[in-house]
Structure 1
Amino acid sequence: MNHNNQLDFFRAILIVLVILIHIVNFGDHYPLLKNAILAFLMPSFLVVTGFLVNINKPLKTYALYLSKIVLAYVVMVSGYAALSLFLPVRDGLTQPTWQAFAHVLFIKSIGPYWFLHLMVVCGVLYYASFRVVPKISTAAKLSIFATFIILTAQFTPLLNIRFAAYYFVGVVIRHLVKDFSKVYESSL
Protein backbone atom coordinates (compact mmCIF):
# COMPACT_ATOMS: atom_id res chain seq x y z
CA MET A 1 0.00 0.00 0.00
CA ASN A 2 1.29 3.45 -0.91
CA HIS A 3 1.72 6.22 1.63
CA ASN A 4 -1.36 8.46 1.72
CA ASN A 5 -0.79 12.07 2.77
CA GLN A 6 -4.53 12.76 2.82
CA LEU A 7 -5.01 9.94 5.31
CA ASP A 8 -2.21 11.36 7.47
CA PHE A 9 -3.93 14.75 7.43
CA PHE A 10 -7.25 13.12 8.37
CA ARG A 11 -5.55 11.31 11.27
CA ALA A 12 -3.92 14.57 12.40
CA ILE A 13 -7.34 16.24 12.54
CA LEU A 14 -8.70 13.33 14.57
CA ILE A 15 -5.78 13.56 17.02
CA VAL A 16 -6.34 17.29 17.50
CA LEU A 17 -10.02 16.60 18.19
CA VAL A 18 -9.09 13.93 20.76
CA ILE A 19 -6.91 16.45 22.57
CA LEU A 20 -9.65 19.07 22.36
CA ILE A 21 -12.39 16.92 23.89
CA HIS A 22 -10.11 15.78 26.70
CA ILE A 23 -9.63 19.34 27.86
CA VAL A 24 -11.94 19.42 30.87
CA ASN A 25 -13.18 22.97 30.41
CA PHE A 26 -14.04 22.36 26.76
CA GLY A 27 -16.57 19.69 27.68
CA ASP A 28 -18.03 21.88 30.42
CA HIS A 29 -18.42 24.93 28.19
CA TYR A 30 -19.46 23.17 24.98
CA PRO A 31 -21.18 19.88 25.90
CA LEU A 32 -23.19 19.63 22.67
CA LEU A 33 -20.11 20.21 20.52
CA LYS A 34 -18.18 17.64 22.56
CA ASN A 35 -20.96 15.07 22.01
CA ALA A 36 -21.06 15.87 18.29
CA ILE A 37 -17.30 15.36 18.00
CA LEU A 38 -17.45 12.10 19.97
CA ALA A 39 -20.21 10.82 17.67
CA PHE A 40 -17.77 10.50 14.77
CA LEU A 41 -14.34 10.63 16.40
CA MET A 42 -13.88 7.09 17.70
CA PRO A 43 -15.75 5.44 14.82
CA SER A 44 -13.45 7.33 12.45
CA PHE A 45 -10.35 6.18 14.34
CA LEU A 46 -11.57 2.58 14.26
CA VAL A 47 -12.27 2.68 10.52
CA VAL A 48 -8.81 4.13 9.86
CA THR A 49 -7.21 1.54 12.16
CA GLY A 50 -8.97 -1.34 10.41
CA PHE A 51 -7.83 0.06 7.08
CA LEU A 52 -4.19 0.49 8.11
CA VAL A 53 -3.60 -2.89 9.78
CA ASN A 54 -1.41 -5.01 7.51
CA ILE A 55 -1.94 -8.75 7.87
CA ASN A 56 0.32 -9.61 4.95
CA LYS A 57 3.12 -10.48 7.33
CA PRO A 58 4.50 -13.71 8.71
CA LEU A 59 2.91 -14.80 11.99
CA LYS A 60 6.03 -13.91 13.99
CA THR A 61 6.13 -10.34 12.63
CA TYR A 62 2.40 -9.83 13.16
CA ALA A 63 2.64 -11.26 16.69
CA LEU A 64 5.44 -8.78 17.43
CA TYR A 65 3.20 -5.93 16.21
CA LEU A 66 0.35 -7.10 18.47
CA SER A 67 2.69 -7.68 21.42
CA LYS A 68 3.73 -4.02 21.32
CA ILE A 69 0.08 -2.99 21.55
CA VAL A 70 -0.49 -5.50 24.36
CA LEU A 71 2.52 -4.18 26.29
CA ALA A 72 1.29 -0.58 26.02
CA TYR A 73 -2.19 -1.71 27.01
CA VAL A 74 -1.03 -3.67 30.07
CA VAL A 75 1.19 -0.84 31.32
CA MET A 76 -1.44 1.85 30.83
CA VAL A 77 -4.40 -0.12 32.21
CA SER A 78 -2.36 -1.31 35.19
CA GLY A 79 -1.40 2.26 36.04
CA TYR A 80 -4.94 3.51 35.50
CA ALA A 81 -6.38 0.70 37.63
CA ALA A 82 -3.94 1.41 40.46
CA LEU A 83 -4.67 5.13 40.36
CA SER A 84 -8.41 4.49 40.22
CA LEU A 85 -8.21 3.07 43.73
CA PHE A 86 -7.21 6.53 44.98
CA LEU A 87 -8.70 8.95 42.47
CA PRO A 88 -12.30 9.49 41.40
CA VAL A 89 -12.50 7.93 37.93
CA ARG A 90 -15.38 6.31 36.06
CA ASP A 91 -15.45 2.52 36.09
CA GLY A 92 -12.37 2.36 38.29
CA LEU A 93 -11.48 -0.41 40.69
CA THR A 94 -13.34 -0.32 43.98
CA GLN A 95 -11.33 -3.07 45.65
CA PRO A 96 -7.67 -4.04 45.22
CA THR A 97 -8.09 -7.74 44.38
CA TRP A 98 -6.35 -9.83 41.75
CA GLN A 99 -9.73 -10.89 40.37
CA ALA A 100 -10.85 -7.29 39.87
CA PHE A 101 -7.52 -6.39 38.29
CA ALA A 102 -7.61 -9.40 35.94
CA HIS A 103 -11.18 -8.52 34.95
CA VAL A 104 -10.28 -4.97 33.89
CA LEU A 105 -7.09 -6.14 32.20
CA PHE A 106 -8.43 -9.07 30.20
CA ILE A 107 -12.21 -8.73 29.99
CA LYS A 108 -13.57 -5.21 30.40
CA SER A 109 -11.01 -2.50 29.91
CA ILE A 110 -11.28 0.65 31.98
CA GLY A 111 -10.35 4.17 31.13
CA PRO A 112 -9.48 5.34 27.64
CA TYR A 113 -7.54 2.18 26.82
CA TRP A 114 -10.47 0.11 25.50
CA PHE A 115 -9.30 1.16 22.04
CA LEU A 116 -6.06 -0.83 22.42
CA HIS A 117 -7.99 -3.84 23.75
CA LEU A 118 -10.26 -3.71 20.71
CA MET A 119 -7.24 -3.39 18.39
CA VAL A 120 -5.73 -6.56 19.80
CA VAL A 121 -8.93 -8.65 19.77
CA CYS A 122 -9.92 -7.51 16.26
CA GLY A 123 -6.32 -7.85 15.08
CA VAL A 124 -6.19 -11.49 16.17
CA LEU A 125 -9.57 -12.25 14.58
CA TYR A 126 -8.61 -10.44 11.38
CA TYR A 127 -5.30 -12.26 10.99
CA ALA A 128 -6.86 -15.63 11.81
CA SER A 129 -9.79 -15.19 9.44
CA PHE A 130 -7.57 -14.32 6.51
CA ARG A 131 -5.06 -17.08 7.28
CA VAL A 132 -7.37 -20.02 8.08
CA VAL A 133 -8.03 -20.81 4.43
CA PRO A 134 -5.68 -18.61 2.38
CA LYS A 135 -6.90 -19.76 -1.06
CA ILE A 136 -10.51 -18.52 -0.79
CA SER A 137 -11.89 -15.25 -2.13
CA THR A 138 -11.63 -11.95 -0.30
CA ALA A 139 -15.41 -11.90 0.14
CA ALA A 140 -15.27 -15.30 1.84
CA LYS A 141 -12.43 -14.14 4.11
CA LEU A 142 -14.40 -11.02 5.04
CA SER A 143 -17.40 -13.24 5.80
CA ILE A 144 -15.26 -15.39 8.08
CA PHE A 145 -13.94 -12.26 9.80
CA ALA A 146 -17.48 -10.91 10.29
CA THR A 147 -18.54 -14.28 11.70
CA PHE A 148 -15.60 -14.31 14.12
CA ILE A 149 -16.50 -10.79 15.28
CA ILE A 150 -20.17 -11.68 15.79
CA LEU A 151 -19.39 -14.92 17.65
CA THR A 152 -16.78 -13.27 19.85
CA ALA A 153 -19.11 -10.38 20.69
CA GLN A 154 -22.10 -12.66 21.25
CA PHE A 155 -20.50 -15.36 23.37
CA THR A 156 -17.66 -13.61 25.20
CA PRO A 157 -17.31 -10.28 26.99
CA LEU A 158 -14.13 -9.53 25.02
CA LEU A 159 -15.61 -7.47 22.22
CA ASN A 160 -18.23 -4.77 21.75
CA ILE A 161 -19.79 -5.39 18.35
CA ARG A 162 -20.75 -1.74 17.96
CA PHE A 163 -17.09 -0.70 17.92
CA ALA A 164 -15.80 -3.81 16.15
CA ALA A 165 -18.13 -3.06 13.24
CA TYR A 166 -16.21 0.15 12.52
CA TYR A 167 -12.91 -1.75 12.52
CA PHE A 168 -14.51 -4.22 10.11
CA VAL A 169 -15.57 -1.37 7.80
CA GLY A 170 -11.93 -0.24 7.66
CA VAL A 171 -10.84 -3.76 6.71
CA VAL A 172 -13.51 -3.89 4.00
CA ILE A 173 -12.29 -0.57 2.59
CA ARG A 174 -8.72 -1.89 2.55
CA HIS A 175 -9.64 -5.05 0.64
CA LEU A 176 -12.45 -3.88 -1.63
CA VAL A 177 -11.92 -0.15 -2.23
CA LYS A 178 -8.13 -0.22 -1.68
CA ASP A 179 -7.73 3.59 -1.59
CA PHE A 180 -9.02 5.31 1.53
CA SER A 181 -9.18 8.72 -0.13
CA LYS A 182 -11.85 7.41 -2.53
CA VAL A 183 -14.15 6.91 0.43
CA TYR A 184 -14.18 10.46 1.69
CA GLU A 185 -13.72 12.15 -1.71
CA SER A 186 -16.93 10.56 -2.95
CA SER A 187 -18.77 11.80 0.13
CA LEU A 188 -17.94 15.47 -0.54
Structure 2
Amino acid sequence: MRNRIHELDYLKCLFIILMIIFHLSHIGSKYPYAKSIVYTFHMPAFLLISGYLINVHKKPEIFLKAMAWIFIPYTIMEISYACMSMLFPVWDGIKEINASVLLGKVLLDPIGPYWYLHTFILCGTTYYFVHTYLSSTPFIRLLVTSSLLLLFSYIFHLLTFANAFYFMAGIAIHLGKRPFLSCFPASFLAIIPLVFLCSQPENLNRGTLGGILITGLVISLSLYIYKHLPHTVKQASLFIGKNTLPILLFSPVFTALSKLFLPFFSFDPTGICFLCTATVITLYGSIFIAFCLDKARLSPFFFGKKILI
Protein backbone atom coordinates (compact mmCIF):
# COMPACT_ATOMS: atom_id res chain seq x y z
CA MET A 1 0.00 0.00 0.00
CA ARG A 2 1.32 3.46 -0.86
CA ASN A 3 2.01 5.84 1.96
CA ARG A 4 -0.53 8.64 1.97
CA ILE A 5 0.71 12.01 0.78
CA HIS A 6 -0.70 14.53 3.21
CA GLU A 7 -0.65 17.36 0.70
CA LEU A 8 -2.86 15.36 -1.69
CA ASP A 9 -5.39 14.69 1.08
CA TYR A 10 -5.38 18.41 1.81
CA LEU A 11 -5.99 19.24 -1.87
CA LYS A 12 -8.83 16.72 -2.01
CA CYS A 13 -10.35 18.36 1.07
CA LEU A 14 -10.12 21.80 -0.51
CA PHE A 15 -11.70 20.73 -3.79
CA ILE A 16 -14.50 18.69 -2.21
CA ILE A 17 -15.42 21.72 -0.06
CA LEU A 18 -15.52 23.91 -3.17
CA MET A 19 -17.71 21.31 -4.84
CA ILE A 20 -20.16 21.48 -1.93
CA ILE A 21 -20.20 25.28 -1.81
CA PHE A 22 -21.06 25.72 -5.46
CA HIS A 23 -23.61 22.92 -5.46
CA LEU A 24 -25.57 25.15 -3.10
CA SER A 25 -27.85 26.70 -5.71
CA HIS A 26 -28.26 29.90 -3.67
CA ILE A 27 -24.50 30.50 -3.64
CA GLY A 28 -24.03 29.56 -7.29
CA SER A 29 -26.70 32.03 -8.39
CA LYS A 30 -25.43 34.80 -6.09
CA TYR A 31 -21.79 34.46 -7.21
CA PRO A 32 -21.90 33.20 -10.80
CA TYR A 33 -18.43 34.44 -11.78
CA ALA A 34 -16.83 32.81 -8.75
CA LYS A 35 -18.70 29.62 -9.66
CA SER A 36 -17.28 29.77 -13.19
CA ILE A 37 -13.75 30.13 -11.80
CA VAL A 38 -14.14 27.24 -9.36
CA TYR A 39 -15.74 24.98 -11.96
CA THR A 40 -12.70 25.57 -14.16
CA PHE A 41 -10.32 23.81 -11.75
CA HIS A 42 -11.86 21.98 -8.80
CA MET A 43 -12.92 18.69 -10.41
CA PRO A 44 -10.13 18.73 -13.04
CA ALA A 45 -7.65 18.90 -10.16
CA PHE A 46 -9.49 16.03 -8.47
CA LEU A 47 -9.21 13.96 -11.65
CA LEU A 48 -5.53 14.84 -11.97
CA ILE A 49 -4.87 13.51 -8.46
CA SER A 50 -7.01 10.42 -9.14
CA GLY A 51 -5.05 9.59 -12.28
CA TYR A 52 -1.78 9.99 -10.41
CA LEU A 53 -2.87 7.72 -7.56
CA ILE A 54 -4.64 4.93 -9.46
CA ASN A 55 -2.95 1.57 -8.95
CA VAL A 56 -3.12 -0.70 -11.99
CA HIS A 57 -0.56 -3.19 -10.69
CA LYS A 58 -3.22 -5.60 -9.48
CA LYS A 59 -4.69 -8.88 -10.63
CA PRO A 60 -7.83 -8.39 -12.74
CA GLU A 61 -10.18 -9.86 -10.14
CA ILE A 62 -8.83 -7.53 -7.43
CA PHE A 63 -8.93 -4.40 -9.59
CA LEU A 64 -12.41 -5.13 -10.95
CA LYS A 65 -13.68 -5.86 -7.46
CA ALA A 66 -12.41 -2.47 -6.31
CA MET A 67 -14.13 -0.77 -9.24
CA ALA A 68 -17.34 -2.71 -8.56
CA TRP A 69 -17.40 -1.34 -5.02
CA ILE A 70 -17.28 2.16 -6.44
CA PHE A 71 -19.89 1.37 -9.09
CA ILE A 72 -22.39 -0.06 -6.57
CA PRO A 73 -22.70 3.01 -4.29
CA TYR A 74 -22.44 5.22 -7.37
CA THR A 75 -25.44 3.44 -8.92
CA ILE A 76 -27.48 3.59 -5.73
CA MET A 77 -26.85 7.27 -5.18
CA GLU A 78 -27.18 8.27 -8.84
CA ILE A 79 -30.62 6.64 -9.01
CA SER A 80 -31.58 8.20 -5.67
CA TYR A 81 -30.41 11.63 -6.81
CA ALA A 82 -32.26 11.34 -10.11
CA CYS A 83 -35.46 10.44 -8.27
CA MET A 84 -34.90 13.18 -5.70
CA SER A 85 -34.55 15.73 -8.52
CA MET A 86 -38.27 15.29 -9.11
CA LEU A 87 -38.97 16.67 -5.61
CA PHE A 88 -36.10 19.15 -5.35
CA PRO A 89 -35.68 20.46 -8.90
CA VAL A 90 -32.11 20.86 -10.14
CA TRP A 91 -30.97 22.23 -13.48
CA ASP A 92 -30.05 18.77 -14.86
CA GLY A 93 -32.86 16.84 -13.17
CA ILE A 94 -35.12 14.30 -14.84
CA LYS A 95 -38.72 14.90 -15.90
CA GLU A 96 -40.01 11.36 -15.45
CA ILE A 97 -39.00 8.18 -13.65
CA ASN A 98 -38.76 4.91 -15.50
CA ALA A 99 -36.23 2.12 -15.89
CA SER A 100 -34.92 3.41 -19.23
CA VAL A 101 -34.28 6.93 -17.92
CA LEU A 102 -32.59 5.71 -14.74
CA LEU A 103 -30.42 3.19 -16.59
CA GLY A 104 -29.38 5.91 -19.02
CA LYS A 105 -28.35 8.18 -16.17
CA VAL A 106 -26.27 5.46 -14.53
CA LEU A 107 -24.50 4.20 -17.65
CA LEU A 108 -24.43 7.14 -20.04
CA ASP A 109 -25.28 10.54 -18.63
CA PRO A 110 -25.10 10.87 -14.83
CA ILE A 111 -26.42 13.99 -13.13
CA GLY A 112 -25.23 15.79 -10.03
CA PRO A 113 -21.65 15.31 -8.78
CA TYR A 114 -21.74 11.60 -9.60
CA TRP A 115 -20.37 12.18 -13.10
CA TYR A 116 -16.94 12.20 -11.44
CA LEU A 117 -17.30 8.57 -10.31
CA HIS A 118 -18.62 7.60 -13.76
CA THR A 119 -15.57 9.24 -15.38
CA PHE A 120 -13.20 7.71 -12.84
CA ILE A 121 -14.53 4.19 -13.40
CA LEU A 122 -14.45 4.52 -17.18
CA CYS A 123 -10.97 6.09 -17.36
CA GLY A 124 -9.47 3.85 -14.69
CA THR A 125 -10.85 0.62 -16.14
CA THR A 126 -9.82 1.53 -19.69
CA TYR A 127 -6.28 2.32 -18.60
CA TYR A 128 -6.09 -0.84 -16.51
CA PHE A 129 -6.94 -3.13 -19.41
CA VAL A 130 -4.59 -1.33 -21.79
CA HIS A 131 -1.79 -1.44 -19.22
CA THR A 132 -2.41 -5.10 -18.40
CA TYR A 133 -2.95 -6.60 -21.82
CA LEU A 134 -0.99 -4.37 -24.21
CA SER A 135 2.68 -5.26 -24.27
CA SER A 136 4.28 -1.98 -25.20
CA THR A 137 6.01 1.08 -23.80
CA PRO A 138 4.28 3.28 -21.20
CA PHE A 139 3.98 6.07 -23.79
CA ILE A 140 2.19 3.82 -26.29
CA ARG A 141 -0.15 2.54 -23.56
CA LEU A 142 -0.94 6.12 -22.58
CA LEU A 143 -1.56 7.02 -26.22
CA VAL A 144 -3.84 4.02 -26.78
CA THR A 145 -5.81 4.77 -23.61
CA SER A 146 -6.22 8.41 -24.62
CA SER A 147 -7.38 7.34 -28.09
CA LEU A 148 -9.99 5.03 -26.60
CA LEU A 149 -11.24 7.73 -24.26
CA LEU A 150 -11.40 10.13 -27.20
CA LEU A 151 -13.54 7.54 -28.97
CA PHE A 152 -15.77 7.11 -25.93
CA SER A 153 -16.18 10.88 -25.74
CA TYR A 154 -16.87 11.97 -29.30
CA ILE A 155 -18.43 8.83 -30.78
CA PHE A 156 -20.30 7.24 -27.87
CA HIS A 157 -20.69 10.39 -25.72
CA LEU A 158 -19.86 8.48 -22.53
CA LEU A 159 -17.77 11.23 -20.98
CA THR A 160 -16.25 14.64 -21.60
CA PHE A 161 -12.76 14.32 -23.03
CA ALA A 162 -11.57 17.45 -21.20
CA ASN A 163 -12.22 15.57 -17.95
CA ALA A 164 -10.48 12.46 -19.24
CA PHE A 165 -7.49 14.64 -20.20
CA TYR A 166 -6.83 15.57 -16.57
CA PHE A 167 -7.06 11.94 -15.47
CA MET A 168 -4.58 10.94 -18.16
CA ALA A 169 -2.31 13.85 -17.21
CA GLY A 170 -2.19 12.44 -13.67
CA ILE A 171 -1.22 9.04 -15.07
CA ALA A 172 1.46 10.69 -17.22
CA ILE A 173 2.99 12.34 -14.14
CA HIS A 174 3.09 8.99 -12.39
CA LEU A 175 4.60 7.23 -15.40
CA GLY A 176 7.25 9.93 -15.55
CA LYS A 177 8.29 8.81 -12.05
CA ARG A 178 8.11 12.36 -10.82
CA PRO A 179 6.61 13.18 -7.44
CA PHE A 180 3.29 14.95 -7.89
CA LEU A 181 4.36 17.82 -5.68
CA SER A 182 7.47 18.51 -7.77
CA CYS A 183 5.24 19.24 -10.78
CA PHE A 184 3.34 21.90 -8.84
CA PRO A 185 5.88 23.73 -6.65
CA ALA A 186 4.27 25.59 -3.78
CA SER A 187 4.45 29.31 -4.52
CA PHE A 188 2.64 32.42 -3.40
CA LEU A 189 3.70 34.08 -6.66
CA ALA A 190 1.27 31.78 -8.48
CA ILE A 191 -1.44 34.22 -7.44
CA ILE A 192 -0.23 36.84 -9.94
CA PRO A 193 -0.81 34.89 -13.19
CA LEU A 194 -3.81 33.20 -11.56
CA VAL A 195 -5.61 36.50 -10.99
CA PHE A 196 -4.79 37.64 -14.52
CA LEU A 197 -6.07 34.42 -16.11
CA CYS A 198 -9.24 34.36 -14.00
CA SER A 199 -10.02 37.95 -14.97
CA GLN A 200 -10.41 36.84 -18.59
CA PRO A 201 -13.74 34.97 -19.04
CA GLU A 202 -12.45 33.05 -22.07
CA ASN A 203 -10.02 31.21 -19.77
CA LEU A 204 -12.79 29.87 -17.55
CA ASN A 205 -13.06 26.58 -19.41
CA ARG A 206 -11.25 23.47 -18.24
CA GLY A 207 -10.78 22.37 -21.83
CA THR A 208 -8.67 25.39 -22.82
CA LEU A 209 -5.00 26.19 -22.23
CA GLY A 210 -6.12 28.92 -19.86
CA GLY A 211 -8.17 26.41 -17.89
CA ILE A 212 -5.22 24.02 -17.68
CA LEU A 213 -2.94 26.81 -16.43
CA ILE A 214 -5.53 27.92 -13.87
CA THR A 215 -5.75 24.37 -12.52
CA GLY A 216 -1.99 24.09 -12.13
CA LEU A 217 -1.64 27.53 -10.56
CA VAL A 218 -4.43 26.84 -8.06
CA ILE A 219 -2.66 23.66 -6.97
CA SER A 220 0.66 25.51 -6.53
CA LEU A 221 -0.97 28.33 -4.55
CA SER A 222 -2.96 25.87 -2.42
CA LEU A 223 0.19 23.93 -1.55
CA TYR A 224 1.84 27.17 -0.44
CA ILE A 225 -1.14 27.91 1.81
CA TYR A 226 -0.96 24.38 3.26
CA LYS A 227 2.55 25.03 4.57
CA HIS A 228 1.27 27.94 6.64
CA LEU A 229 -1.90 26.40 8.07
CA PRO A 230 -2.19 25.79 11.82
CA HIS A 231 -1.70 22.17 12.85
CA THR A 232 -5.33 21.68 13.88
CA VAL A 233 -6.57 22.97 10.53
CA LYS A 234 -4.17 20.64 8.72
CA GLN A 235 -5.41 17.65 10.72
CA ALA A 236 -9.04 18.48 10.01
CA SER A 237 -8.31 18.89 6.30
CA LEU A 238 -6.49 15.55 6.19
CA PHE A 239 -9.45 13.79 7.82
CA ILE A 240 -11.84 15.27 5.26
CA GLY A 241 -9.43 14.49 2.43
CA LYS A 242 -9.31 10.83 3.44
CA ASN A 243 -13.10 10.60 3.36
CA THR A 244 -14.03 12.33 0.12
CA LEU A 245 -15.89 9.27 -1.23
CA PRO A 246 -18.74 9.33 1.32
CA ILE A 247 -18.81 13.14 1.11
CA LEU A 248 -19.17 12.98 -2.67
CA LEU A 249 -21.84 10.29 -2.40
CA PHE A 250 -24.01 11.77 0.33
CA SER A 251 -23.47 15.53 -0.03
CA PRO A 252 -26.35 16.02 -2.53
CA VAL A 253 -28.77 14.92 0.22
CA PHE A 254 -27.71 17.85 2.36
CA THR A 255 -27.20 20.45 -0.38
CA ALA A 256 -30.78 19.74 -1.49
CA LEU A 257 -32.19 19.88 2.05
CA SER A 258 -30.28 23.10 2.74
CA LYS A 259 -32.91 24.94 0.68
CA LEU A 260 -35.34 24.30 3.53
CA PHE A 261 -33.43 26.42 6.05
CA LEU A 262 -32.32 29.12 3.62
CA PRO A 263 -35.14 31.49 4.79
CA PHE A 264 -33.57 31.58 8.26
CA PHE A 265 -30.56 33.38 6.76
CA SER A 266 -32.49 36.16 5.07
CA PHE A 267 -30.77 38.60 7.44
CA ASP A 268 -27.45 38.06 5.58
CA PRO A 269 -27.57 39.45 2.02
CA THR A 270 -24.07 38.09 1.26
CA GLY A 271 -25.13 34.46 1.81
CA ILE A 272 -21.87 33.79 3.69
CA CYS A 273 -23.60 32.66 6.91
CA PHE A 274 -25.76 30.24 4.93
CA LEU A 275 -22.69 29.05 3.00
CA CYS A 276 -20.70 28.26 6.16
CA THR A 277 -23.59 26.56 7.92
CA ALA A 278 -24.69 24.48 4.94
CA THR A 279 -21.11 23.44 4.13
CA VAL A 280 -20.37 22.25 7.66
CA ILE A 281 -23.68 20.38 7.87
CA THR A 282 -23.05 18.76 4.48
CA LEU A 283 -19.48 17.73 5.30
CA TYR A 284 -20.12 16.18 8.65
CA GLY A 285 -23.62 14.97 7.81
CA SER A 286 -22.15 12.95 4.94
CA ILE A 287 -19.43 11.51 7.17
CA PHE A 288 -22.04 10.75 9.83
CA ILE A 289 -24.09 8.70 7.35
CA ALA A 290 -20.99 6.66 6.50
CA PHE A 291 -20.27 6.27 10.24
CA CYS A 292 -23.82 4.99 10.81
CA LEU A 293 -23.40 2.49 7.98
CA ASP A 294 -20.21 1.29 9.68
CA LYS A 295 -21.94 0.91 13.04
CA ALA A 296 -24.95 -0.83 11.47
CA ARG A 297 -22.52 -3.21 9.72
CA LEU A 298 -23.92 -2.21 6.35
CA SER A 299 -20.67 -0.88 4.88
CA PRO A 300 -19.65 -4.31 3.50
CA PHE A 301 -22.83 -4.26 1.38
CA PHE A 302 -22.47 -0.64 0.31
CA PHE A 303 -18.72 -0.05 0.06
CA GLY A 304 -17.30 -3.58 0.12
CA LYS A 305 -15.39 -2.68 3.30
CA LYS A 306 -16.02 -3.65 6.89
CA ILE A 307 -15.34 -0.10 8.05
CA LEU A 308 -15.12 2.99 5.85
CA ILE A 309 -14.60 5.78 8.40
**Structure 2: distance between partners of 1:108 and 1:70:** 14
> Quick one: structure 1 residues 57 and 178, their matched pair in 2 at CA, closer, same or farther if it must change by over 3 Å?
farther
Q: Once the 2 structures are TM-superposed, how far is the Cα of residue 133 of structure 1 from its aligned partner?
A: 1.9
Is 2:86 the partner of 1:85?
yes
Aligned to 1:156: 156
Is 2:131 the partner of 1:130?
yes
**Structure 2: distance between partners of 1:19 and 1:77:** 16
**Structure 2: distance between partners of 1:33 and 1:104:** 28
Aligned to 2:140: 140
1:3 maps to a residue whose letter is R
Aligned to 2:22: 21
Aligned to 1:61: 62
2:178 maps to a residue whose letter is K
**Structure 2: distance between partners of 1:129 and 1:61:** 16
2:148 maps to a residue whose letter is F
Q: Deviations over 1:13-42 (max 9, x none)?
A: 222322332344433443222221221111
Aligned to 1:182: 182
> Quick one: structure 1 residues 100 and 19, their matched pair in 2 at CA, closer, same or farther if it must change by over 3 Å?
closer
Q: Once the 2 structures are TM-superposed, how far is the Cα of residue 145 of structure 1 from its aligned partner?
A: 1.0
Q: Once the 2 structures are TM-superposed, how far is the Cα of residue 8 of structure 1 from its aligned partner?
A: 2.0
Aligned to 1:100: 101
1:147 maps to a residue whose letter is S
Unaligned runs of 5+ in 1: none
Spell out the pairing of 1:34-45 with structure 2 (5 A cutoff).
34-45=35-46
Q: Deviations over 1:111-133 (max 9, x none)?
A: 22111111111111110111122
> Quick one: structure 1 residues 25 and 102, their matched pair in 2 at CA, closer, same or farther if it must change by over 3 Å?
closer
* SS at 1:141 equivalent: helix
Q: Once the 2 structures are TM-superposed, how far is the Cα of residue 49 of structure 1 from its aligned partner?
A: 0.9
**Structure 2: distance between partners of 1:32 and 1:64:** 41
Aligned to 1:109: 110
Q: Which moved more, 1:22-31 or 1:172-181?
A: 22-31
Q: Which moved more, 1:60-69 or 1:2-11?
A: 2-11
> Quick one: structure 1 residues 158 and 10, their matched pair in 2 at CA, closer, same or farther if it must change by over 3 Å?
same
Please report the TM-score for the alignment, with normalisation by the length of structure 1.
0.90
Q: Kindly indicate whether the alpha-carbon contact (under 8 Å) linking 1:90 and 1:111 is maintained by their aligned counterparts in 2.
A: no
> Quick one: structure 1 residues 14 and 124, their matched pair in 2 at CA, closer, same or farther if it must change by over 3 Å?
same
Q: Once the 2 structures are TM-superposed, how far is the Cα of residue 3 of structure 1 from its aligned partner?
A: 3.0
**Structure 1: distance between partners of 2:81 and 2:14:** 26
**Structure 1: distance between partners of 2:4 and 2:81:** 35
Greater radius of gyration (CA): 2
Please report the TM-score for the alignment, with normalisation by the length of structure 2.
0.57
Count of aligned residue pairs for this structure pair: 187
Q: Once the 2 structures are TM-superposed, how far is the Cα of residue 46 of structure 1 from its aligned partner?
A: 0.8
Q: Once the 2 structures are TM-superposed, how far is the Cα of residue 82 of structure 1 from its aligned partner?
A: 1.4
Q: Once the 2 structures are TM-superposed, how far is the Cα of residue 162 of structure 1 from its aligned partner?
A: 1.5
**Percent of aligned pairs with the same residue?**
27
Q: Once the 2 structures are TM-superposed, how far is the Cα of residue 96 of structure 1 from its aligned partner?
A: 2.0
Is 2:32 the partner of 1:31?
yes
Q: Once the 2 structures are TM-superposed, how far is the Cα of residue 177 of structure 1 from its aligned partner?
A: 4.1
Q: Which moved more, 1:21-30 or 1:105-114?
A: 21-30
* SS at 1:79 equivalent: helix
Unaligned runs of 5+ in 2: 187-216, 221-309
